[in-house]
Chain A
């Protein structure tokens, strides 16, 4: 059994909560007391059906407002897979929450209401998922029951969305007609839509192939922590602990340590008390080297012929996440893999309109929830790759040094 992380997005009332409620219910992730509470609330509100959407709403204030305003994580499992849903709010004022949810997702699920077809919001959701390089996208055309399960409605949305998707970077796209409320094509294939020959949503989620989405070629091992037991039994043990960010590491491999440029060989790779033959993403392991080279947190172990170039001039897409706008000359703290330093905003090249993909070159600021292309200069060299190649070594966060709050998320285009 493996793990699939997916992010959901939909505009208010497209049926996202209903769909998630149904996935949880049908995979038995809902317990009787939770269901009873929801049935009671549904009755007390005078509904003639059980409002599954009530299963997933979170904090009290949101409950009162009746909307989801932060990323909520939900869990369910089928016999083949465990799923982690990052349930994100759809409205433009919560773009940063969508970006957050998408950052760890293997798959993005966008909902549209069949009656309305594609909206500005659904296009934006797809844009954000593609910017965050979520490798698989599912467009769920919901409420098919309200359009009499009409194939023409589905075909129209299919055509329009496929055309739009060519402008984006979406390696794998699936468009599924469903009814979250009635259950059509959610877990089992619907009898109401014989014209649809694809798989149900659940079947697709269970079988979509995600292991090969990770970079298994370019070895990248950001050193997190140096393990030095200094005990009698492990007197000379010195191991470099971290989570593999790319490639496959094996004992005997020649390695290059950045930024120092020293070379050595992998003497062994430890996973707790066992030595293993290879380590690959996202394993957390401890690497021992043959030579007594000086390696510390923030360094990167890679291969001599295949290493990122340490660089301080970074070109990145940034999603801004705080009220006070981002401006040129601003100084911030930056965290990239296990390195931290400071960054100066040199230039804001353009703001990306996430609805139209238009590049607005006149704005010299990024407001809350806006995404733009930015040039930064960092105090420490970053050992990075383009985000399109590696989502771990290509991403960073920006932190306000006074408040300590995370204010920006960055995806590296280029480093020089």
Chain B
């Protein structure tokens, strides 16, 4: 048997873990059809780990939904498949390509894939009739998120209304919804980027290897380093060269920039973040750079 601490104190990671597990169990007990939104990124992998722990030795009692932008990093899809196979959960893939083909969303050539994900996601939630969708959002990520609840109510258009949020007290979550509505659930609300990395290190769990330093053919656009890819042809004046880089977030590869980095292990990544001077979104997410309130706008529309 494992001895627990004699002084009845939990470390911050243990306390965060206990809180998140409580949230997973609460949702599984109270919602008819939950689903876990899996992006393949580190946050959604930590969610998978917490869900695994919450129900062990039983399997996770809900499926996993991934929105396939068509422009995902192959390394991310590989990690996704490893996780899904190991845990024996059902994977539902909602494809942006299909959504475009079926007229669910409109690709006007100007809208980013991350944005087209919104319609694709909402459509998948509606089609499958999910009543609760776990997302990996953290409150430290962005100002607009700082006020979002753990249980974040979405109306029947999937929209978030920051003015109409329900009070959320103690650890008493209110999961009441009406037909057609659903609840976004953020079990990682109180985790910071550093907590996530410390936890991945502690748990020794698999994350996509693009988070670690590697050689990659990249080019510069709008001050970001983008990966060379058939989906993202270079424009005139853009030159491709090989550099030592890593990704701080994963998403649509045409928009997700990498940073030059030698950090090849989790402790090295933690050191790098501890002295990092630009937030992870500011550094590497093209779609957040357009305006300060961009995130808030997309959330209102039903973004993760």
Interface of A with B (CB < 8 Å)?
1-3, 28-29, 31-34, 37, 56-61, 70-75, 77, 81-82, 84, 96-97, 99-100, 103-104, 211-212, 214, 216, 224-225, 227-231, 233-234, 237, 241-243, 248, 251, 270-280, 282-284, 286, 297, 321, 333, 335-336, 338, 391-392, 395-397, 399, 404-406, 409
Contacts and interface: CB of A to CB of B under 8 A. Distances in A.
Given A77-B194, A277-B2, A392-B170, 19 more contacts: A2-B10, A2-B15, A32-B278, A33-B278, A72-B147, A212-B8, A224-B22, A231-B58, A234-B57, A241-B54, A242-B25, A243-B22, A272-B56, A274-B2, A284-B25, A284-B54, A286-B56, A338-B29, A405-B166
Given A31-B279, A58-B143, A284-B25, A276 B2 contact: yes
Contact of A279 (B3, B4, B282): B4
Interface stretch (B99-107, B120-128, B173-181): B173-181
A279 B14 CA distance: 12
A60 B283 CA distance: 22
A272 B53 contact: yes
B170 A2 contact: no
Given A272-B56, A404-B176, A58 B144 contact: yes
Q: Which 9 A-B pairs have the closest CB atoms?
A: A404-B176, A32-B277, A284-B21, A229-B58, A103-B169, A33-B282, A284-B18, A82-B12, A72-B146
B1 A275 contact: yes
B139 interface: yes
Contacts of A73: 139, 146-147, 189-190
Nearest to B172: A397
Contact of B28 (A104, A225, A277, A406): A225
B101 to A, nearest CB: 35
A75 B140 contact: yes
15 contacts: A33-B279, A58-B143, A71-B147, A72-B147, A77-B12, A100-B169, A103-B170, A224-B29, A225-B25, A241-B25, A251-B1, A277-B4, A280-B8, A297-B29, A406-B166
Nearest to B22: A243
Contact of B59 (A229, A283, A284): A229
B15 A282 contact: yes
A325 B164 CA distance: 18
Interface residues of B, number: 65
B146 A3 contact: no
Nearest to A273: B56
B7 A211 contact: yes
B147 A3 contact: no
Contacts of B194: 77
A391 B170 contact: yes
B189 to A, nearest CB: 7
Contacts of B176: 333, 399, 404-405
B163 A61 contact: yes
A409 B167 contact: yes
Contacts of A282: 10, 15, 18-19
B168 A100 contact: yes
Contacts of B26: 224, 338
A129 to B, nearest CB: 14
Given A103-B170, A225-B29, A229-B59, A277 B1 contact: yes
Contacts, number: 199
A212 B8 CA distance: 8
Contacts of A335: 172, 174
A84 B190 contact: yes
Nearest to B178: A404
Nearest to A268: B1
B157 interface: no
B87 interface: no
Interface of B: 1-4, 7-12, 14-19, 21-22, 25-26, 28-29, 52-59, 139-140, 143-144, 146-147, 162-163, 165-172, 174, 176-178, 189-190, 192, 194-195, 274, 276-279, 282-283, 292-293, 296
Nearest to A394: B170
B263 to A, nearest CB: 17
Main SS class of interface, A: mixed
A399 B153 CA distance: 14
B292 to A, nearest CB: 7
A391 B170 CA distance: 8
Contacts of A1: 11-12
A299 B53 CA distance: 22
Contacts of A271: 2
A333 B172 CA distance: 13
Contacts of A274: 1-2
B190 A75 contact: yes
Contacts of B56: 227, 270, 272-273, 286
B291 to A, nearest CB: 10
A70 B147 contact: yes
Contacts of A272: 52-53, 56
Q: Which of A58, A74, A214, A237 has the most CB of B within 10 A?
A: A58
Contact of B172 (A75, A228, A231, A395): A395
Contacts of B171: 104, 243, 392
A82 B163 CA distance: 29
Contacts of A409: 167, 169
Contacts of B292: 37
Contact of A3 (B12, B52, B279): B12
A70 B7 contact: no
Contacts of B28: 225
Contacts of A233: 57
Contacts of A216: 8
A321 to B, nearest CB: 5
Contacts of B11: 1-2
Nearest to B19: A282
Contacts of B166: 405-406
Contacts of A104: 169-171
B174 A399 contact: yes
A228 B17 CA distance: 22
A276 B296 contact: no
A404 B173 CA distance: 12
Contact of B14 (A71, A211, A234, A283): A283
Contacts of A279: 4
A385 B163 CA distance: 34
A100 B168 CA distance: 6
